[in-house]
C-alpha cells in the first residue's frame, strides 16, 4: 500500500512525516511529494496544513494541476484522504482568514475565526484539550472518549451538515475537531503531536 503525504511547501511537516513513518514501519510505503503522478497512483493521501487558510490554498495552487488532482482523487476516485489542521479546514466552501478565500468544497461549510468572547479565551487555541467523540468513526477505533489531543488554531470549521462531525472540543464553544464523510477524514488537532493517542489515530487511518 502506498500512502502519500502531499508536500506543497505549507510550512514544516517533519513531525507529520516522522509520525507516519513510525507507525508505518516497513508495512506501508510512505512517500512525501507534490509529484502528480505519484499522488494519482497512491492508495491514500494525507493533506497537512500549517499557516493560514489563504496561504495554504495559494501554495497548493502554485503547483500546476495539484488542486485538480486532489479533487479527482477525493471526489471521483473516492480514495481515503486525511486532512490535518488547515488540511481539514480546506475541505470547506470558503474561509475567512486574511481575506475571503474559496476552499475545495468537499464538505459544505465555512471556516471562521473562533469567537474568543471578547478576549476571555486566548487565540490561538493552543495546547492539549479533550475531545468528545460524538459519532462512531473508523479513525477513532480503540481511542477512548475524552482523550486529549494537541491543538494550535485560531479558526474553526463550521460544516453545514452536522452529521459529518465525529468529534468536538470545548473551548469558547463547541468546536468541530474531527469530521468524516465517506472517504474524507479530517482532524483540527494534530495527531502527529498528540502522543500515543495521535499515533493510534494515524494507525487507524493507515489500516482503513
Cell numbers at residue 75, please? Answer: 471526489
Q: Catalytic one among 22, 56, 85, 97?
A: 85
Report if pTM > 0.95: yes
Residue 137: the pLDDT is 95
Place of cell 477524514: 185
Determine contact, residues 162/176, Cβ cutoff 8 Å. Answer: no
Q: Could you confirm whether 31 is annotated as catalytic?
A: no
Q: Which domains does the chain have, with CATH numbers?
A: 2-207 (3.40.50.880)
Spatial neighbors of 46 by CB under 8 A, at least 6 apart, are 3, 4, 5, 6, 16, 20, 81, 82, 84, 87, 205
Active-site residue flag, 192 = yes
Catalytic, 153? Answer no
The answer to whether residues 54 and 95 touch, using CB atoms and an 8 Å cutoff, is: yes
Q: Which three cell numbers stand for residue 167?
A: 468529534
165, HSE (Cβ side, Cα atoms, 13 Å): 19
CA distances to 42, 199, 200 from 196, in Å: 26, 5, 6
Query: Which residues in the chain land under pLDDT 70?
Result: none
Query: pLDDT for 76-103, tens place per residue?
Result: 999 999 999 999 999 999 999 999 999 9
Annotated catalytic residue: which of 97, 156, 180, 192? 192
CA 121 – CA 116 distance, rounded (Å): 5
Residues 125 and 171: their CA atoms lie apart, in Å, by: 8
For the segment 117-136, what is each residue's pLDDT rounded down to a tens digit?
A: 999 999 999 999 999 999 99
Q: What is the pLDDT of residue 26?
A: 87
With 0-12 CB in 10 A as exposed, 13-18 as middle and 19+ as buried, what is 47? buried
Please give the distance of CA 126 from its chain centroid, rounded to a whole number.
16
* Under 8 Å between Cβ of 150 and 157: no
From 56, 153, 177, 190, the catalytic residue: 190
- What pLDDT, on the 0 to 100 scale, is given for residue 4? 98
Amino acid at each position: 500500500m502506498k500512502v502519500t503525504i502531499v508536500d506543497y511547501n505549507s510550512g514544516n511537516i517533519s513531525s507529520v512525516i516522522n509520525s507516519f513513518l513510525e507507525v508505518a514501519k516497513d508495512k506501508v510505503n510512505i512517500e512525501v511529494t507534490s509529484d502528480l503522478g505519484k499522488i494519482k497512483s497512491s492508495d491514500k493521501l494525507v493533506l497537512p496544513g500549517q499557516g493560514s487558510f489563504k496561504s495554504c490554498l495559494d501554495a497548493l495552487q502554485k503547483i500546476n494541476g495539484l488542486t485538480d488532482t486532489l479533487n479527482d482523487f477525493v471526489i471521483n476516485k473516492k480514495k481515503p484522504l486525511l486532512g490535518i489542521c488547515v488540511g481539514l479546514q480546506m475541505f470547506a466552501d470558503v474561509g475567512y482568514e486574511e481575506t475571503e478565500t474559496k476552499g475545495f468544497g468537499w464538505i459544505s461549510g465555512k471556516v471562521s475565526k473562533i469567537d474568543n468572547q471578547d478576549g476571555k479565551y486566548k487565540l490561538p487555541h493552543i495546547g492539549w484539550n479533550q475531545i468528545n467523540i460524538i459519532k462512531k468513526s473508523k479513525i477513532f477505533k480503540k481511542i477512548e472518549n475524552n482523550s486529549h489531543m494537541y491543538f494550535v488554531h485560531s479558526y474553526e470549521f463550521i460544516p453545514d451538515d452536522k452529521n459529518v462531525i465525529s468529534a468536538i472540543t470545548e473551548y469558547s464553544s463547541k468546536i468541530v475537531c474531527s469530521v468524516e464523510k465517506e472517504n474524507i477524514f479530517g482532524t483540527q488537532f494534530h495527531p502527529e503531536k498528540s502522543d500515543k493517542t495521535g499515533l493510534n489515530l494515524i494507525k487507524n487511518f493507515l489500516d482503513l
